[in-house]
């Protein structure tokens, strides 16, 4: 089971991808309705499944053993793991010699059909990515605004 307070190792990468996709959607929109933009954002294809290979392997293993792990998950997370498990079953038929963990790692690095999160969650991640980018820019340009003391 995942522990409260554990940090997601791909958090920054996910935020950058969400921000890039967000900016693309803003650029394509003739009318800016942020609520609608975030609804579109979460349905856009993603470069990967935003879960670690280890966590995916644990959930796949639970499903294979008959545990009802998915029932307690939120809807979007459950949809993501259902898609991962569907791909696992197909891949396992093609590569029966591979372990669950090896197959899970292959799957999570495949493109995902969507971001598998709620629009409000995407909003939070985009805002955090914007804030982080602004801080990085300030740090990078800090020397431009240095003024000697009198």
Same-domain pairing of 97 and 128 = no
**pLDDT band at residue 4 under the 50/70/90 scheme:** low
Question: pTM value?
Answer: 0.84
pLDDT at 5: 58
The DSSP annotation for 75-106 comes to: HHHHHHHHHHHHHHHHHHHH-TTS-HHHHHHH
Same domain, 92 and 130: no
- Per-residue pLDDT of 100-118, as tens digits, reads 999 999 999 999 999 999 9
Task: Flag whether 142 is in a domain.
Answer: no
One domain, residues 105 and 118? no
Structural domain harbouring 74: 49-110
Mean pLDDT value of segment 114-135 = 95
Average pLDDT rounded to a whole number, residues 38-50: 97
d(Cα 63, Cα 73) in Å, to the nearest integer? Answer: 13
């Amino acid at each position: 089971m995942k522990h409260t307070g554990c940090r997601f190792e791909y958090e920054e990468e996910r935020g950058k991808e969400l921000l890039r996709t967000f900016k693309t959607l803003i650029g394509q929109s003739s009318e800016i309705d942020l609520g609608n933009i975030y609804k579109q954002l979460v349905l856009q294809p993603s470069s990967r499944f935003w879960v670690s290979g280890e966590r995916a392997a644990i959930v796949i293993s639970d499903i294979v053993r008959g545990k009802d792990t998915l029932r307690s998950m939120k809807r979007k997370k459950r949809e993501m793991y259902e898609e991962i498990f569907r791909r696992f079953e197909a891949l396992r038929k093609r590569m029966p010699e591979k372990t669950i963990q090896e197959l899970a790692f292959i799957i999570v690095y495949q493109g995902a059909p969507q971001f598998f999160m709620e629009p409000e969650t995407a909003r939070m991640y985009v805002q955090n990515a914007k804030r982080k980018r602004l801080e990085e820019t300030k740090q990078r340009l800090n020397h431009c605004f240095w003024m000697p003391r009198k």
